[in-house]
Homo-oligomer: A and B are copies of this chain.
Amino acid sequence: MTLALTDRMTELVAQRFRLLGEPMRLRILQALEDGELPVSDIVGALGTSQPNISKHLQILCHGGLITRRRDGLNIYYGIADPMVFKLCRLVCQSAEDNARAQLEELSAPSPGRTRKSAAIRR
């Protein structure tokens, strides 16, 4: 079945992909994979400034990818839906496949292409 997204839905989906299109945010998500953490721990784990982490946490939180819970002075963030990791794995896989394909393309002995030949690219 085709996607056939409405304009609004296309915007939403793009927005969600954009959340994941930032290395620092992916690192934050990975840091939270084993369970929720207070901001200070995330900062410690990722080696960037606390304001920067806070900013990304807010973006992820508003985007609905992480949860937020206060406990005394600390604020704990956690993964809202482990599905994100499924997404990451899929993309990871396809990125690997792509890299492999490019390697083959480069080391191919001759222009005797295998199939469909996705290469013109001037």
Contacts and interface: CB of A to CB of B under 8 A. Distances in A.
**Interface residues of chain A: helix, strand, loop or mixed (majority):** helix
Contact of A69 (B13, B23, B70, B117): B117
Contacts of A69: 116-118, 120
Interface size class of A (residues with CB under 8 A): 35 or more
Interface in A12-68: 12-23, 25-27, 30, 33-34, 61, 64, 67-68
Interface in A76-122: 80-81, 83, 85-92, 94-95, 97-99, 101-102, 116-121
A120 B68 contact: yes
A73 interface: no
A60 to B, nearest CB: 12
Contacts of A27: 10
A67 B116 contact: yes
A122 to B, nearest CB: 10
Given A21-B15, A61-B121, A90 B99 contact: no
Given A12-B95, A90-B83, A95-B13, A64 B101 contact: yes
Q: Which A-B residue pairs are the 3 nearest by beta carbons?
A: A18-B21, A17-B21, A67-B118
